[in-house]
Structure 1
Amino acid sequence: MAQAQKDQENPLLNILINVLAPVLILSHCSKEVGKFYHIGPVWAMTAALALPLGYGIWHFINHKKLNIFSCVGLGAILLTGLITIYLWSSEAAKPHVALIFGLKEAIQPLLLGSLFLITHRTPSPLFRTFIYNESIFDIRNIEKVIAEKESHPDYEALIWKSTLLFFGSFCISAILNMGLAYYFLGDLTPSTPDWKEVYNSKVAQITGWGFLVIGAPLMLVGGYILFTMIGGLKKLTGLDTDRLMVPR
């Protein structure tokens, strides 16, 4: 039990380091002068990117395994850094900042969602890891009844339909993320004064709101998927809800 607790990632620490801390750094530390913590836009961006990157490396060293979501997150951090280097390579802001950053923001949820489709036919589908898993459903009993009733094709079709729905929630997140980038960065032009500081502030807002934009569709669609999975499994197996779910 102690080892399992050690291996389990702390979700609050994850949110603090990967979302809240970068948002606060970019929002409050990007000014050149003033307070002691005003370290300028370059160092603020560096610190904001270094925190989640360092945490990802630390997590891998301590847990000796790759978390697919952490890997995608680290990829997004590195991509943010590369885009920032490109955008800051000239004194004035480049045109189409919103488009460039918006595409980056859309890629992350699309990549995550695509992994659910790609792993569907593998021995470890992500859908079964995060939604249809043995901590929620009594899968052993369900699949025993499915085998007895010879309903395996319909059973697989139900899982595939639910996987597609989950992928759809990531597509919604991608569209909303693109909209956020245009909303916050759309007015950033080559004539914007102190544009690097403004850019950092806008990126902080996108990061904070993006966490909600990705999370809200996932929660709503996840709840709907659970509802449809339970209804579909009832029809296929004849079991009631109590026998489908793991006792609490």
Structure 2
Amino acid sequence: MSQTEKKKSSGFLVNLLFNIVIPTLILSKLSEEHQLGPVWALVVALAFPLGFGLWELQQSKKVNFLSVLGVVSVLLTGGISLLQLDPAYIAIKEAAVPGLIALAVLISQRSKYPLVKKILLNDELMDLTKLEASLKANNAEKVFAAKLQNCAYLVASSFVVSSILNYGLAKYLLVSAPGTAAFNEELAKMTALSFPVIALPCTIMLMVAIWYLFSQIGKVTGESIESFLRQ
């Protein structure tokens, strides 16, 4: 396994731990009054994804739209819950976040910095300078731009699916009043189920987009995709 693969594997596990596993355990196991209580259990549970998100922003040394949206999402969940607003607002928030990403992906296609390139073409994985040179040599830049547009539709669709599934899951599970142990347990269940119910289908759709992009790179450049991958 290469250093890049090890880094991505460990990064995925840490992400899973801080964003799903630890918050789920705290909300489901420590929300009773004789433990942390519903309010403090919620505060402590949300501190992990919030802290991790802020740490990622600090490590990257640059403002990342998706990371910022993730931090804002956690803050909104905490604010809605602590203010004991109707759980329907959380369902709306859960749908709005991936919905905004889908919209941003499509809108950014008209800018100099399309989000789909950042999502699918990783400089750590692929030699982008070599790819751009090959596209230019084959006079295939416009053709490739059209293929990227198709990928943008695929990626945006994956976030639309996430938006619909997020809303449905939140509406189905969050039925108790915020500020109670029962609500925290429902929030824990929603957090735990978000990976198999939402992340996996959307990941599959993203993998289809990556497969399509890689196959098109081979077609428009006349070279194998392996020739552009970093060793």
Q: Give yes or no for the alignment of 1:160 onto 2:143.
A: no
Q: In the alignment, is the contact (CA less than 8 A) between 2:39 and 2:82 conserved in 1?
A: no
| 1:113 alignment partner in structure 2 | 102
How far apart, in 2, do the equivalents of 1:199 and 1:32 lie? 13
| 1:26 alignment partner in structure 2 | 27
State the identity as a percent. Answer: 32
Please state whether the residue corresponding to 1:65 is helix, strand or coil.
coil
TM-score normalized with structure 2 length: 0.82
Q: Give yes or no for the alignment of 1:53 onto 2:50.
A: yes
Distance apart, 1:149 and its partner CA: 3.5
Distance apart, 1:87 and its partner CA: 2.4
| 2:173 alignment partner in structure 1 | 184
How many residue pairs match? The answer is 224
Q: In the alignment, is the contact (CA less than 8 A) between 2:57 and 2:67 conserved in 1?
A: no
| 1:230 alignment partner in structure 2 | 214
After TM superposition, the structure 1 = structure 2 runs for residues 1-248 of structure 1, keeping only pairs within 5 Å, are: 10-33=11-34, 38-61=35-58, 64-87=61-84, 94=86, 97=87, 99-186=88-175, 188=176, 196-243=180-227, 245-246=228-229, 248=231
Please state whether the residue corresponding to 1:87 is helix, strand or coil.
coil
How much is the aligned-residue C-alpha RMSD, in angstroms? 2.9
How far apart, in 1, do the equivalents of 2:57 and 2:135 lie? 39
Q: In the alignment, is the contact (CA less than 8 A) between 1:56 and 1:74 conserved in 2?
A: yes
CA distance 1:181–1:134, change in 2 (3 Å) = same
Unaligned regions of 5+ residues in structure 2, if any? Answer: 1-5
Amino acid paired to 2:153: L
Q: In the alignment, is the contact (CA less than 8 A) between 2:102 and 2:160 conserved in 1?
A: yes
Structure with the bigger percentage of helix: 2
Structure 1 runs of 4+ with >6 Å offset: none
Distance apart, 1:19 and its partner CA: 1.9
How far apart, in 1, do the equivalents of 2:126 and 2:117 lie? 10
Amino acid paired to 1:84: S
